[in-house]
Amino acid sequence: MIPDWKIWATIAGLALTTYLIRLSFVGLLGGRTLPGWLTRALGFVPVAVLPALIAPMVLSGPEGAISPDVSLAFPAGCALVLGVLTRNVLAGILGGIGGFALLMLVG
């Protein structure tokens, strides 16, 4: 069993690291004007993060094998279609929630 102090030291280290990463953007770049190319690139971050978080959950099966879960593929497809049609991340998220709710009502 892992000693308690090691668990708490790991949690504290992760918290400090997360704080420093966020401070590096907010504290160091907060008052500066970013170049146009970087501002445009940062606009794509929400659009890239959402699929990066969802795709592994939808596509991975037991033991990491690629086998889509149908109960997750339908809400993901709803989110994808609504996101592409509206070009709005929030609409995509709400579409996924709606697709999942629809499956819960039917199933």
Q: Which has more pLDDT, 98 or 61?
A: 98
> For residues 87 and 39, what is the distance between their CA atoms, to the nearest angstrom?
18
Decide: 89 and 46 in contact? Cβ < 8 Å: yes
Per-residue model confidence as pLDDT tens digits over 37-95: 988 998 888 778 878 888 888 888 777 677 777 788 899 899 989 988 998 889 988 99
Q: What pLDDT score was predicted for residue 33?
A: 85
Residue 7 has pLDDT above 90, yes or no: yes
Q: What pLDDT score was predicted for residue 26?
A: 77
Q: What pLDDT score was predicted for residue 14?
A: 97
SS3 17: helix
SS3 60: strand
CA-only gyration radius of the chain, Å: 19
Residue-wise over 91-102: b if at least 16 C-beta within 10 A, else e? Answer: ebbbbbeebbee
Q: What pLDDT score was predicted for residue 36?
A: 92
